[in-house]
Structure 1
Amino acid sequence: MSTGGEEALRLQYVVGDEIGRGRFGTVRRCHSAATGEAFAVKSTAKAPLLDPLDLALAEQEPKVHLLVSSPPCSRHVVALHAAFEDAHAVHLVLDLCAGGDLLSLLSARGGRLPEREAAGLAAQLAAALAACHRRGVAHRDVKPDNLLFDAAGALKLADFGSAEWFGDGRAMTGLVGTPYYVAPEVVAGREYGEKVDVWSAGVVLYVMLSGTVPFYGATAPEIFESVLRGNLRFPPRAFASVSPEAKDLMRRMLCKDVSRRFSADQVLRHPWIASRGGDAVAD
């Protein structure tokens, strides 16, 4: 990682308009001063990060993201191209994804997608997670907001601000993620592994096919209670046209028993993905 913060960043990149804003930072367009190639730069200020965990994750993000970005990098992971840090902020130069995110796509399409399209996106997400897991990295915040599209329409997994390295066999801990998408073992306060990402991807698939989340509540504690119960249902009104094969895959992804829950590689080999979405994966 380079030192020098924003001053060093601006020596190498021309920074343009803001294109996104998150809880702690902003995303702006930028391009290389040397080549003109377009990128995005995510800037996270350290001052608002009062929680030591938030600060630690912000400082760790470039190192973990670099692990999944080093060649050969999956086409379905947003790549990190450069990082700059000083006492005030962390700046990450990333792939520019000009096609919006999955949350916006779902909103524009009335909340749900046709089964073949959902299978293609699920395949690309599983490919991204499999690539991360092979590098020993768990994303820990898989959700539609963090699934972006490049100019060609390929899905890319973004925002490694909550990611953790488990490559030496260590178990992960900590309540990290987004309530609707977080796995039950995370909520329970137990040690957990990379299959938390598969649970979250299962929730994303459920949302794509039905327009609703499988575990819900009016408040975060109520959502967590629903996640812990893990009572997976397929209401007929929402799932009348969804195939039994798709429901089978979701049961295997949203399985409370981690030993029986699918891995990302197993998701890719499931017949529903192989028959409907396999051709969408490009690595």
Structure 2
Amino acid sequence: MSSGGELALRQEYVIGDEIGRGRFGAVRRCYAVDTGEAFAVKSTPKAPLREADALDLALAEQEPKVHLFASAPGPGASPHVVALHAAFEDDSAVHLVIDLCAGGDLFSLVSARGRLLEHEAADLMAQLASALSSCHRRGVAHRDVKPDNLLFDGSGVLKLGDFGSAEWFGDGRPMTGLVGTPYYVAPEVVAGREYGEKVDVWSAGVVLYMMLSGTVPFYGATAAEIFESVLRGNLRFPPRAFASVSPEAKDLMRRMLCKDVSRRFSADQVLRHPWIVNRGGAAAMG
């Protein structure tokens, strides 16, 4: 972590065009002064956060440390986590220099193409589960797994990005707080209970459902209605969307979208499921 904020950032990186915008900040292309290597820089001003919510400010200020835990090289590191290369912070903003993912995101892919083939969805889910397994072994829960945060690099490799809602649980502490995105958030989060890292597996299960059907399993006209649907957890596979989806894929979704946290799969168990191991199984060959 470096102090000095944007001034220090600009001494080491040339800042380019804006390439994305989130709830509180912007992402710009940047280039290392020494090497010319291209990165992205995520900049989060603190003033709007001070006015909005103490939790949002606390998450922004801890994001560099938590992201570093999740993405640092070493044993158990996953190539499917967006790497943090440098961080700069002062009283006005947090700036994170991260991998440049120039291939867009999963939300844009599914929006453009519609539902994916099973072997494509299985391959992408394997990459996401690898990222989550690595994060969880390092004591980090992402807490906002959704298609918008699943990015592709220039070679089409999937990477889990945006650790702005992530939390450290590695010392055994339970997590609390309504964090995440309504369609993808786990029921124990909505219920206001303490929870663990398996909230990420639930969210990944919603992502898998979305990849295979083009829609989400729990929905409503308002956030409150979506939360009610999530709490009911009534998982259905409408024939119109799922007639050609294999029983093995549905089995994995049931195990990921299980309200009983003790029975819900871990990220490691997702990786070992036959549908993932076989990258879509017979459906991939048909």
Equivalent position of 1:246 in the other structure? 249
Q: For structure 2, list consecutive stretches of 5 or more residues without a partner in the other structure.
A: 282-286
2:171 equivalent among 168, 173, 194: 168
How many residue pairs get aligned? The number is 277
- The residue type equivalent to 1:68 in the other structure is A
Matched, 1:274 2:280: no
Which residue identity lines up with residue 23 of structure 1 in the other structure?
R
CA apart distance, 1:277: 5.9
- For residue 71 of structure 1, report the CA deviation from its aligned partner: 1.0
Post-superposition, which runs of at least 4 consecutive aligned residues in structure 1 deviate over 6 A?
none
* Paired position in structure 2 for 1:88: 92
Query: Which amino acid in the other structure matches residue 183 of structure 1?
Result: A
Letter in 1 for 2:97: V
> Hey, what's the Cα distance between the residues in 1 that align with 2:27 and 2:227?
30
Distance 1:23 1:249 in 2: 32
The one-letter code sitting in structure 1 at the alignment partner of 2:161 is A
**Equivalent-residue separation in structure 2 for 1:75 and 1:259 (angstroms):** 28
1:231 aligns with 2:234: yes
Give the match for residue 18 of structure 1: 18
Q: Is the 8 A contact 2:151 2:159 kept in 1?
A: yes
Give the structure-2-normalised TM-score.
Answer: 0.96
Q: CA deviation at 1:70?
A: 1.3
| Cα shift at 1:37 | 0.9
Higher mean alpha-carbon deviation, 260-269 vs 61-70, is at 61-70
Aligned twin of 2:210: 207
Which of the numbers 178, 188, 191 marks the counterpart of 2:191?
188
In structure 2, C-alpha distance between the alignment counterparts of 1:105 and 1:220, rounded to whole Å:
24
CA contact (8 A) 1:122 1:277 kept: no
Cα deviation digits, residues 13-46 of structure 1 (max 9, x gap): 0110000011100000001100111100000000
SS of the residue corresponding to residue 48 of structure 2 reads: coil
Deviation at 1:276, TM superposition (A): 1.1
- Distance in 2, matches of 1:256 and 1:74, equals 28
Matched residues in 1 for 2:277 and 2:205: separation?
16
Instruction: Name the structure 1 match of 2:72.
Output: 70
Identical pairs, percent: 86
**2: CA distance, partners of 1:34 / 1:86:** 23
Q: Which residue of 1 aligns with 2:151?
A: 148
**Distance in 1, Cα, partners of 2:17 & 2:78:** 27
- What's the CA shift for 1:74? 1.3
Where do 1:81-160 residues align within 5 Å?
81-109=85-113, 111-160=114-163
Query: For 2:218, what is the secondary structure of its paired residue?
Result: coil
Give the partner amino acid of 2:218.
Answer: F
TM-score for both structures, normalised by structure 1? 0.97
Letter of the 1:102 counterpart: L
1:87, CA displacement in angstroms? 0.5
CA distance in 2: counterparts of 1:269 and 1:31, whole angstroms: 39
* SS, match of residue 48 in structure 1: helix
> What SS does the corresponding residue of 2:57 show, helix, strand or coil?
helix
Q: How does 1:38-77 map to 2 (within 5 A)?
A: 38-49=38-49, 50=51, 51-72=53-74, 73-77=77-81
Q: Which secondary structure state, in structure 2, belongs to the residue aligned with residue 171 of structure 1? A: coil
Q: Distance in 1 between matches of 2:127 and 2:279?
A: 12
Secondary structure at 1:276's aligned position in 2?
A: coil
Name the SS of the counterpart of 2:35 in structure 1.
Answer: coil
Q: Distance in 1 between matches of 2:97 and 2:254?
A: 37
Q: Give the whole-Å Cα distance in 1 for the aligned partners of 2:27 and 2:8.
A: 17
**Matches of 1:128 and 1:6 in 2, distance apart?**
30
Contact map agreement 2:249 2:280 (CA 8 A) in 1: no
State the Cα RMSD in Å: 0.9
The code of the aligned residue for 1:251 comes to R
Q: Distance in 2 between matches of 1:38 and 1:94?
A: 10
* 1:69 positional shift: 1.7
Instruction: Please list the CA deviations of residues 215-272 of structure 1 after superposition, one character each: whole Å capped at 9, or x if unmatched.
Output: 0000001000000000000000000000000000000000000000000000000000
